[in-house]
Amino acid sequence: MPERESPSESLDQFDNLDLDHMVQRRLAAYALRDYYGATLSEVGQNYLGFSPSIRKQGPKKQWNQIKTRLEVLDNFEAPDELNSIPYKINDISNEVDHDFNYNPPREPLQEARREAENWRDWLLEQSTTYRAVEGELDARETIIRIARESLQTANQSPEERYYGLEEEQNQLNDDVEELLQRLDDIESTTDGITDELVFLLSDAKELERWGEEIVVEENDIAAHIHRDLQVEAHLEDWRVERSSGDSS
C-alpha cells in the first residue's frame, strides 16, 4: 500500500465532506485528528528528535510532549488560538470513538480547518528554531526536560479513561504531581547532575510506563467489548431469521 504523501491529504478529505450532516461531521473529526496527529508526528520526528512511537499517540499527548520540548526556547509561548486546537480535536474524536450517536459540533471543526495551515507553519517555525539551538542545551537541561516530558505524558485526565480505570489514573496523577514538585525543587535549588535528579528521571520513566499500561488495558477491554457486541449482533440476526422461518 502506498504511504501518505503529506498530512494535507487528510485536509483534502475534510474539504469533501458536508458538515450539514452529522455522520459526515463525525468523519470530519477523524480527518482533522489524522491531519494534526500526522503533522505532530512528522515534525516531532524530523525536527525534535522524537522516536517513531510518537505516531501511536493522540494529538493531545503528542502536543503536550512537543510543547514541553519547545519550552526550552527563550520567550516561547503558544498562541491560545493555536494551542487549543489539538486538544479540541482530540476530545471531539474521542467522543466519536466512544459514542456512536455523538453529534460533533460544527464550529470547532471549522475553526480547526481554518487554522490548519497557519498552525503547521507556526509549529515548523518553532521546531526549526529548536533544532538550530539544540546543541547549546547542556546535559542537565536535557535530563530535566526528559523527566518533565515523561511526567506530562503519564498525567492524563481521568475523564478520558473508561471501563473502571478512572481511579487508577487518579492514583497515577497523584504520583506525577508529587514528582513534578520534586523536579521543580531540584531545578531551582541544585546545580549539575545530582543523584537525586538521576533517580527522579528513573521514577518519571516508571510512571510513564504505568500510563502506557493503563492505555493497553483500556484498549484490551474495548476490544473484548467490541467482540462481544459483534457476537450479540450475530445472535440477534440468527434469532430474527429463525423467528421469521418459524412464522412462515
Q: Along the 248 residues of the chain, how does pLDDT read in single tens digits?
A: 456 778 999 999 999 999 999 999 999 999 999 999 999 999 999 999 888 888 888 998 899 889 878 877 878 888 988 999 999 999 999 999 989 999 999 999 999 999 999 999 999 999 999 888 877 777 888 889 889 988 988 988 887 777 678 889 999 999 999 999 999 999 999 988 888 998 899 899 899 889 888 888 888 887 777 676 776 777 777 776 777 766 55
129 and 152 within one domain? no
Do 12 and 122 have their domain in common? Answer: yes
From 137, 156, 185, the end of a domain falls on: 137
CA distance 25 to 19: 5
**Gap between the Cα atoms of 214 and 94, Å rounded:** 16
Long-range contacts made by residues 46-54, C-beta under 8 angstroms, separation at least 24? 47/124, 47/127, 47/128, 47/130, 47/131, 48/127, 48/130, 48/131, 49/134
Check whether residue 130 and residue 154 sit in a common domain.
no
Task: Please state the pTM of the whole predicted model.
Answer: 0.65
Residues 101 and 169 in one domain: no
Give the position of cell 510513564: 208
Between the alpha carbon of residue 2 and those of residues 13, 56, 94, the distances in Å are: 17, 19, 27
C-alpha to C-alpha distance for 41 and 154, rounded to whole angstroms: 18
Please state the domain count of the chain.
2
If asked whether residues 124 and 163 sit together in one domain, one would say: no
Q: 51: domain range?
A: 1-137
Same domain as 235, residue 198: yes
Query: Do 215 and 122 fall into the same domain?
Result: no
